[in-house]
Amino acid sequence: MADIYRQLALLLDHPKETLITPKGEENAVFQLPETYLPAEYAANGVELNNRFGDEATEKIKVKELSKLPQISKAMEMPRDVDFSLFLPKHQEWSNEVIKAMLDVPQNQLEDFKSTCAYARSNLNPQLFNYCYSIALLHRPDTQKVRVNSLAELFPEKFINSQVFSPARESAAVIPSNVPRIPIIIPRDYTASDLDEEHRVAYWREDIGINLHHWHWHLIFPFTAPDRAIVAKDRRGEIFYYAHQQIIARFNCERLCNSLQRVKKFNNWREPIPEAYFPKLDSLTSARGWAPRQANMSWQDLNRPVDGLVITIDQMEKWRRNIDDAIASGKVILPDGKTQDLDIDILSNLLESNILSLNRELYGSIHNNGHSFAAYMHDPEHKYLESFSIMGDEATTLRDPFFFRWHGWIDDVFHRHKESPHVPRYTRDQLSNPGVQIVSIAIESATGQTNTLNTFWMTSDVDLSRGLDFSDRGPVYARFTHLNHRPFGYVIKVINTGSARRTTVRIFMAPKFDESNRNWILSDQRKMFIEMDRFQIPLSAGENTITRQSTDSTLTIPFSQTFRDLSVQGSQPRREELEGFNFCGCGWPQHMLVPKGTEGGAVYQLFVMLSNYDFDSVDDPKAGIKLSCVEASSFCGLKDRLYPDRRAMGYPFDRPTNYARTIEELLTSCMGLQEITIRHQNITEPNPRNNSKSILNILTKDNVWLIGR
Ligand SMILES: [Cu+2]
């Protein structure tokens, strides 16, 4: 069985090369039936395929299906065009391909391989990658397929375009069995400090955060041929919560860098002062991603070629309908009847995904907003330009405008939560009688109490799988990212009742606002970022709860974000890294803690031990062991109910009827501890770096330096 999983994984290798050429370290060749060859190789493909087969160490038989997979519409998509899910035409194509892949009966993996090999051979590489990833994630029989990180397959979506020329040189000149010197990507390459927004570029452009966001949208696509793929438990609410937390985290990061919180993009006709020059190239289209100058504005879009004809007027009409729904607390259904609005329904309307209760009336605001932002440079296809990075889930977070747009989206959700139709929390709802927090402390590996320490780290990413027509063997790029010293929470509790379970909810937020003043709770609650959430038993009497930062249910370890980065070539990967499924979705552990400041940023750490009677979820599958560390807070659990019955973000998701400040909010099951986040401006190499074996031969002169 292991063989077929490995073969399926090879279909992702070197995604922009034709399937005729060898794949993987082991030079495996897929033996394609004549009917599977792409048009451009129809004349000599079999011959070429055979020729490569002579050099191959492995020949992979591809069964000829009696009927070719039904993907003819998707085959119309040119190969050298970038793929965006926000485009109606691309959605239609991807639905056709995903359907063909999911329609293969379970455990008929040879048929599945054949279907996908045909698709791989005949489709645009990005379209194939997206559809195939969705199929691998959602088919029960493919959960063990090992998939490389998207940053390795399409490194150009994550990494400075200047890296690729030296990377190709390295692959061509240095034999694959000789260690290759990593190519260094500087921390600052997209702008200078003259651009204020650049102060938080390290966060927006973090490879792990962008991988997380892309993976999140693979698990929660807004459209799919099979409704069940979209209709996961609390699908709408999780879209709201995961993005709300991204905005809150970004705002924390901004405050650490003396920037104001994000200004929501409220007036859609107003020029956008934030410019962005991504400095990424698309290797698919062999073009650079379009930059955005300062003060550009949204324009009506008239791009029939993308199925995108839409005006700002139309967007504003939908927006008024959403406003009406929030004001009345009711959503109008297509038959004119109404239904009570809740966060799940609102989120589905706003995104909008196929679960939207009335797409005619409420339109598709979030998705089209991405498109308006992505085409400001060529709204009418006059210059034959493609979308900007705002149009791709793997790149959109790099752009400061993402946060302005999602700041507005987030505000809509908050307005609903603050409306009279959502009852405010009472003290009772935030209490847990008998449970009293006595003290909270953070203990760091550094020996300090109540201090978190951040610093810079350099890590390697292997570009070779994404380099077309290059010699095999790893080619590393070395990037710099934020990291923190591991730490632990120590929470002392007295339980005057009998033994019981509780949910421990850990959040934190800056103690002061951007003007150094104390917050009012209605603002500060939107700044609280979740750090961890877990359930534990409490015995009667005194309890001491200890918990490590690396156990957070928000995050996945570095090795899961980047998958097999730390393992050389063909060396067998660790068992727990095998599954691709949900395992890659969590927030990256290295970005758990905001950067803080060198002088020390003052934060408030908040802990709540809530009443389990109202937290517990009755899930029949709850006992089944998970295949890897799964980060349930933002990503849920595969095939299960969301493991917490409370509103996501509880207790900060809505106002209370009694508190104006965080101190007034506290009941005895809550606690607050002042902490300091200190940033040390030093850079350490990641001990996992592949190329550490050659570190001793590295000097300043023989490192490839890219950029300024
Ligand atoms: Cu998103």
Q: What is the pLDDT of residues 442-459, one digit of tens each?
A: 998 888 999 999 999 999
Cα distances from 555 to residues 11, 122, 184, 560, in angstroms, run 29, 37, 27, 10
Res. 578: pLDDT tops 70: no
Res. 355: pLDDT tops 90: yes
Out of 194-203, 292-301, 614-623, least confident range: 614-623
Cα(511) to centroid(ligand 1), Å:
28
What is the arithmetic mean of pLDDT over 516-537? Answer: 97
Identify the pLDDT of residue 627.
60
**Residue 569: band (very low, low, confident or very high) from pLDDT cuts 50, 70, 90:** very low
Q: Which residue in 519, 550, 523, 547 sits closest to 535, CA to CA?
A: 547
Cα(393) to centroid(ligand 1), Å:
7
Res. 98: pLDDT tops 50: yes
Q: Which residue in 422, 435, 425, 417 sits closest to 665, CA to CA?
A: 425
Cα(219) to centroid(ligand 1), Å:
11
Cα(243) to centroid(ligand 1), Å:
6
Cα(246) to centroid(ligand 1), Å:
9
Identify the pLDDT of residue 580.
53
Cα(374) to centroid(ligand 1), Å:
14
Res. 624: pLDDT tops 70: no
Out of 30-44, 278-292, 563-577, least confident range: 563-577
Cα(431) to centroid(ligand 1), Å:
33
What average pLDDT is seen over the chain?
89
Q: Which residue has the higher pLDDT, 180 or 303?
A: 303
Please state the three-class secondary structure of 547-585 as a single string.
Answer: EEHHHCCCEECHHHHCHHHHCCCCCCCCHHHCCCCHHHC
Q: How far apart are CA 579 and CA 644, in angstroms?
A: 24
Out of 161-165, 195-199, 242-246, 366-370, least confident range: 161-165
Cα(349) to centroid(ligand 1), Å:
15
**Residue 425: band (very low, low, confident or very high) from pLDDT cuts 50, 70, 90:** very high
Joined tokens for residue 28? 């495996």
pLDDT digits (tens, 9 = 90+) for 145-167: 877 788 888 888 888 888 888 88
**Residue 703: band (very low, low, confident or very high) from pLDDT cuts 50, 70, 90:** very low
Residue 83, judged by CB atoms within 10 A of its CB (0-12, 13-18, 19+), counts as buried
Cα(238) to centroid(ligand 1), Å:
11
Identify the pLDDT of residue 705.
38
Identify the pLDDT of residue 344.
97
pLDDT digits (tens, 9 = 90+) for 581-621: 567 789 999 999 999 999 999 999 999 999 999 998 887 77
pLDDT digits (tens, 9 = 90+) for 76-85: 999 999 999 8
Q: Are 20 and 52 in contact (CB under 8 A)?
A: yes
The residues annotated as belonging to the active site are 351
What is the arithmetic mean of pLDDT over 280-295? Answer: 87
Q: Which residue has the higher pLDDT, 307 or 629?
A: 307
Cα(357) to centroid(ligand 1), Å:
20
Q: DSSP states of 523-546 as a string?
A: HHTTTPEEEEEEEEEE-SEEEEEE
Cα(100) to centroid(ligand 1), Å:
26
Instruction: Tell me if the bond preceding 651 is cis, omega within 30° of 0.
Output: yes
Cα(217) to centroid(ligand 1), Å:
6
Cα(213) to centroid(ligand 1), Å:
6
Cα(259) to centroid(ligand 1), Å:
23
Cα(151) to centroid(ligand 1), Å:
17
Res. 694: pLDDT tops 50: no
What is the arithmetic mean of pLDDT over 96-108? Answer: 96
Please enumerate in sequence order all residues whose Cβ is within 8 A of that of 417, keeping only pairs 6 or more positions apart, or say none.
343, 653, 654, 655
What is the arithmetic mean of pLDDT over 11-38? Answer: 88
Cα(28) to centroid(ligand 1), Å:
36
Q: Are 388 and 400 in contact (CB under 8 A)?
A: no
534-537 own/partner pairs: CB under 8 Å, 24+ apart: 534/503, 534/504, 535/501, 535/502, 535/503, 535/504, 535/612, 535/615, 536/501, 536/502, 536/504, 537/499, 537/500, 537/501, 537/502
Q: Considering the chain, what percentage of its residues have pLDDT values greater than 70?
A: 93
